Chains A and B, each alone.
Chain A
Amino acid sequence: DGGITQSPKYLFRKEGQNVTLSCEQNLNHDAMYWYRQDPGQGLRLIYYSQIVNDFQKGDIAEGYSVSREKKESFPLTVTSAQKNPTAFYLCASSRGVLISSYNEQFFGPGTRLTVL
């Protein structure tokens, strides 16, 4: 079955540690996205990538880093510079670049990160 997987589902981190969240898709999508969601709020964009080896900052990129070495994978690293990292992190993908009229985003199940 095609889809997006995120791992782990729950993640605990000590303050001051970097941690990497995994996101993999087998939908052959060009574009991938990382969002952050805080309790009772909507999603905010962290980073997005339209194509391999290219990515752009979203609205709240400070304290985060990404890489896009493969089409299928878009890992997110939460660094110690992120002051309030406890949140629900969602990865998404879409056909992206070449499709102009239909650009539905498919979301993964999310990773809940808690900093202790």
Chain B
Amino acid sequence: DAKTTQPPSMDCAEGRAANLPCNHSTISGNEYVYWYRQIHSQGPQYIIHGLKNNETNEMASLIITEDRKSSTLILPHATLRDTAVYYCIVRVITSGSARQLTFGSGTQLTVLP
């Protein structure tokens, strides 16, 4: 699976959009981009994933560049409860294989009141 690079920490004002970047310059054509977050002392929570098109769900939006070498997770209106470590993960989806996720160090997002 391709390696990802994320900034170690970011701050965001409550109510503003939080934009979390991720670089994955060695991504392959069959690798998806996944985002999870982990609130302190809890299990990680799935947020969103995508292949090459931008994706949006009730939690966030995922913007993937045309060359797929980087992506941005957008939380449109950050709240204090969004304070967490956000992990960007790149992995292959292969039929018949329950591939494990490889978690890096992530980005600590702190939403400030």
Residues of A within 8 A of B (CB): 4, 30-31, 33, 35, 40-45, 48, 50, 58, 88, 90-92, 94, 96-98, 100-110, 112
Are A43 and B98 neighbours in the complex by a CB distance under 8 Å? no
Are A90 and B44 neighbours in the complex by a CB distance under 8 Å? yes
In the bound assembly, the distance between CA atoms of A33 and B91 in angstroms comes to 16
Which residues from B are CB-within-8-Å of A44? 103
Where chain B touches its partner, the secondary structure class is loop
* Cβ distance B17 to chain A, nearest Cβ, rounded Å: 24
Closest B residue by C-beta to A96: B98
Which residues from B are CB-within-8-Å of A88? 41
Instruction: Count how many pairs of residues, one from A and one from B, have CB atoms less than 8 Å apart in the complex.
Output: 65
Name 30 interchain pairs, CB-CB below 8 A, sorted by A.
A30-B98, A35-B103, A42-B87, A42-B103, A42-B105, A42-B106, A43-B101, A43-B103, A45-B100, A48-B98, A50-B97, A50-B98, A88-B41, A91-B43, A92-B43, A97-B97, A97-B98, A98-B96, A100-B93, A100-B95, A103-B98, A103-B99, A104-B46, A105-B46, A107-B43, A108-B43, A109-B42, A109-B43, A110-B41, A110-B43
